[in-house]
Structure 1
Amino acid sequence: MNASPLDQIPASVRALAPSRRGLMLGGAGVGAAALLAGCGGSSSGGDSKSVTVGSNQSDEIPKKAVAEMMAGFTGGEVKINTIDHATFQQNITNYLQADPDDVFSWFAGYRARYFADQGLVGDLSDVWSKITGMPEAMKAASTDSSGRQIFVPSTYYPWAVFYKPSVFAEHGWSAPTTYDELMALNEQVKAAGMTPFAMADKDGWEAMGTFDILNLRLNGYDFHISLMAGEEAWDGEKVKNVFSAWSDLVPFQQADPLGRTWQEAAQSMLKNESAMYYIGMFVGQQWQESEAPEDLDFFTFPEMDTAIGADVVEAPVDGYMMAAKPKNEAMAKDLLLYISTPEAEAITLKGDPSVIGANDAVDQSGYSALQKKAVELIGSAANLSAFLDRDTRPDFASTVLSPSIQGFLQNPSDIDSILKSIESQKASIFGS
C-alpha cells in the first residue's frame, strides 16, 4: 500500500475540516440551470437497474477517463450526463433544487459542505463505513458541519508553475527558487521574444489561483484561511500588498486574459509563445495529444518572504456526491463505493494521468515522472489549501471576488477602490 502524502500533513486538515461559517444559496441563470435540470435524475425513471451521473468533466480527456471508469461498475447501467464545466459550476444550486442526477461530480471541502448545509445532498456515512484506503484528511474533506460524510474523493492535484523543459534548456533558463530570481527570469523570457506567463480568466476562476499563491507567499497560510472566512479586512495593507505584487507581475502575463480560456493559455505554452503558467496539474491534459507529451515540468511558486517560506501548496480534491433524493439510492451508493476503490481510480488515472489518486492503495507504479513529482511536492507541504472558490463561501467567490479580480486585471492601478468594494460586500455577505 502506498502512503498518501495527505496523511503526512496533519496541519492541512484545518483547511479541509468542517467550518463554522454559515452559507447562503447563490443565484444562477435560469436557462443554463434548466439545461442542467433537463439532464437530471428523471431520466432513470426509478429504474432499479440504472443510475444517472451528472458530470462536469466536459473536456475530451477527462470525459473519456470518467466514461471508462464508470464502465467498470458491475452493479448496473450508469447513464452519464456531461455538461460544460463552467455551466455546471455556475448553475449547480438550481440544478440540485430541481431534478438532479442520482450522483454528480463536485469538489471536496467547503463547496461540498455548502450543499449539505442546504439539505441538497445525501448522507454517505454508511458508504464511508465500507470505504478502505482513504486517508483521514480525505475523510475530513468529505465531512459536513454535523459530522456526516457527504462526498467521495476520486482524484486531486497540485497547482504550480508549469513549463516546458525543452524551452528552458534551449535558452539556458533555470527554475527560480526565490522571487527575485523569478522576476529576473521574466526579464530574460521577454528579451527572448516570449511572454513569461500564460494567463486566462474567461471563466472567472482561473486567475483566483494567482491571488491565492501571492497571498499565501506574502501573508501565510493562517491569514489566507482567515481571509477566506471573512475574518480579515480586504482593504487592509496585507491584501493591498498582494495586489501590488500582482500588478508588478501583470506586465509579464498574457494581455487580455478575460477573453482567453485556460486551454487557450496552455496552448500558448505548447506553441512556445508563453514560457510558464501558474495552473493546476490538469494542464497536462493539453500535452497528452501533443508531439511531446512528456515535455512538461513544474516548480513551486518561490518564496517571497523568508519568514513565511514556500511550503504551502494548493491541492484541490475532486470527487462525487449524491442528490438528497436520488431516484435509485441503493445503486447510487453502490456506485460511490466503487468510485472510492483503488481499482476505479486506476482506470481514471490511466485515462487521465494529469491527476493523482485519492486512495492510499491506488497503484502508483505506473505514475509518470510528473505525477511522482506532484506526490512528492504535496507530501512535503506544511499545509494545503483547496483553491479560492473552494475555500470561501460560493456566493462571495462568484459574485464578489470573481468580478473584482477581473476588474483588477482590466485596470491594475485601481487597487484601492476594488478592495474597498470587496470589503463592503464582504461585510454584507458575512454579516460582519
Structure 2
Amino acid sequence: MNESGLTQRRSPGLTRRGFLLGVGSTALLSGCATSATSGPVKQAAGAVTVQSNLSSAQAKVAIEALAKAFSDRGGAAATVNTVASEAFRTQLPSYLTSATPPDTYTWYPGSILAGYARKGLLLDVGDVWQTMGSYSDTFRKLSGDGTGKLVFVPTTYYWWGFFYRKSNFAKWGVRAPASWSEFLALCETLKAKGVEPIGIGAGGNTPWTASAWFDYLNIRVNGAQYHRDLLAGKSRFDDPRVVKVFEQWRTALPYFDSRGTAIAFQDATTSLLQGRTGMVLTGTFFTDAAPKDVLDDLDFFQFPVLDPAVPVAEEGPTDGFFASSKTAHLDATKEWLKYVATAEAQELYIKNSSGTALPTHPGAKDAGTPLVAKGRKMLQDAKDLTQFFNRDSSDALQPTADAALIRFIQKPQELTSILTEWQAAAQKVWAE
C-alpha cells in the first residue's frame, strides 16, 4: 500500500488486532488522564458525542482542539467525553448496547469492530469513504467488517521501537545497537552502571505491554505471516517455532527491570524519562504523556533483526473513529467522520499532540521532526506490517497472552507448561 510514502506489501488482515495500545494501543496511557471520567455519557443536545480514550495530556488537548475546530465551522458541533483508556476498553460493549449510545468513538480497526458490526452495532460509513479521496487500499481493508462493509475511518498510525533519551545514552557512553549481540552488550553495560537496561511496565492494568515483545520476536524469528496465522489459530502456541521465540527472549530477561511485572506502563515510561531505565520497547503514543521539553531528547532504534532470511516486518498500528448504528445525530456524525478524514483535521490533531503520529490522509503533512522522519522511513522500508497482538487476533485472546507472558517473565523455567496452558486457553477462545 502507499499512503504518504508508506509502503506495505501485505495487508495486516482482519484476523486480529490490538492495542495497544493500542497498545500496543494502541494503547494510550490510562494512568495519565487528568480529567478523564468513567461516569455516565453526557449527551449535548444537537452535538455529536465523541467518546474518547485519548486521556494522556497532549492527546486530550488534541482531540478537544479537533472538536472545537469542527464546531467552529458552523452547522454540526461535537463534544468530547474522555474516559481513561483501560476503562474505555472495558466499557465499550456497554456504550454500544445502551439505549442512548455515544455517537462516535476513538479506537482502532480490526476483529473487535468486525464482531460489533456483525451484531449490527456499528454505522456503515461507506458513503463517508466515497468522500475521502485516495486513501490506500490497505487502510480500506483495515476499515472493513470482513463482509465488504466499511465501519471505520482511519486517521493516524504510528511505529514501535526501543525508545531512549539521547542525553542519557551520551552520559552513559553508549550508542544504539545494530544487532542482537550488540543489544545484549548494551544491556550488560547499562546494568554494570547501575541502570535497569529494559523497562516494560506490565503490572497493574497494563499487562499487554509484554505482548510487544512476543510480537516482535515472533515476526523476527518466524515472520509476519506466521505470526498472523498463529494468532488466528492456524498454528499452536506450543509449536516448536514458538518455543524458539521464547528461547530468544530468555537471553534478554536478565536485563528486564526487576519491577517490570509489578509496575504499570506509565511508571515504566516515567522511569525511562528520569534516567532510571535505559530503554523501553513501545509505540510513539507514550510521548503524548511526556513533557514537551524532553521530546527533542527522545530517539529510538529498530528491534534488531535476528535472521536476515526472514523479511523485516514492523508494528504499525492504525487508529481512528467508528460510530454507533443507533446514533441520534446521523447527519452530524457523518459530517464529523468526513472532517477527521481530511488532511486539515489530521494536521491539526498532530500539531496539538506530541506530533509523533503519522497521518493516514495521503496529502497530510506530519510533524516533520527528525524522530518522525526516522519512524516513517522504518515503516516505509518494512516488507510487512503487523498491528499489535489483540489487533491482529482479538480482545478475547489478549488475556491468554497476558497470563502466559507475565508468567514467562517471572518463571521462564516453566516454559513448557506455560505454552501448553496457553494453547489450551487460546483453543477455548478460538472455539467460541
Structure 2 length-normalised TM: 0.89
Give the letter aligned to residue 332 of structure 1. T
Q: Counterparts of 1:280 and 1:232 in 2: how far apart (Å)?
A: 27
Equivalent residue, structure 1, for 2:55: 58
Structure 1 position 71 matched with structure 2 position 72: no
Task: Return the offset for 1:272.
Answer: 1.1
Amino acid at match of 2:51: G
Gaps of 5+ in 2: 18-36
The total of aligned residue pairs comes to: 405
What is the CA-CA distance between 1:189 and the residue it aligns to? 1.0
Q: Which amino acid aligns with 1:230?
A: G
CA distance in 2 between partners of 1:414 and 1:5 (Å) = 44
Aligned match of 1:282: 285
Aligned to 1:4: 4
Matched, 1:256 2:255: no
1:158: which partner in 2? 159
The answer (yes or no) to whether the contact 2:16–2:232 under 8 Å persists in 1 is no
Choose from 354, 361, 380 the match for 1:359: 361
Per the TM alignment, residue 67 of structure 1 is displaced from its structure 2 partner at its CA by: 0.3
Match in the other structure for 1:210 = 213
Choose the corresponding residue for 1:268, options 261, 271, 278: 271
1:307 maps onto 2:309 in alignment: yes
Distance in 1, matches of 2:324 and 2:230, equals 31
Matches for 1:95-244 after TM superposition, within 5 Å: 95-98=95-98, 99-202=100-203, 203-244=206-247
Pick which of 109-118 and 181-190 moved more.
109-118
Partner of 1:25: none
- Distance, in Å, in 1 between the alignment partners of 2:336 and 2:50 is 10
The letter of the residue matching 2:324 is A
Structural mapping, 1:293-332, within 5 Å: 293-308=295-310, 311-332=312-333
Structure 1: distance between partners of 2:178 and 2:138? 29
- Once the two structures are overlaid, the 10-residue window that deviates more, 413-422 or 403-412, is 403-412
TM-score, with length taken from structure 1: 0.89
Deviations 1:242-263 (A, max 9, x none): 2232232222111232332222
Aligned partners of 2:346 and 2:359 also within 8 Å: yes
Structure 1: gaps spanning 5 or more residues? 22-34
Contact persistence 2:104–2:322 (CA under 8 A): yes
State the Cα RMSD in Å: 2.0
Does residue 401 of structure 2 align to residue 401 of structure 1?
Answer: yes
Q: Distance in 2 between matches of 1:113 and 1:308?
A: 30
The secondary structure found in structure 2 opposite 1:176 is coil
Quote how far apart the aligned CAs of 1:136 are: 1.9
* Offset at residue 169 of structure 1 (A): 2.3
Q: Percent identity?
A: 29
Structure 2 contact 162–282 (Cα < 8 Å) conserved? yes
After superposition, give the CA deviation of every residue in 1:117-165 in whole Å (9 maximum; x if it has no partner).
2322110001101112422211111111111110011111001111112
Residue 170 of structure 1 and its aligned partner are, at CA, apart by 2.7
**Offset, 1:325:** 0.7
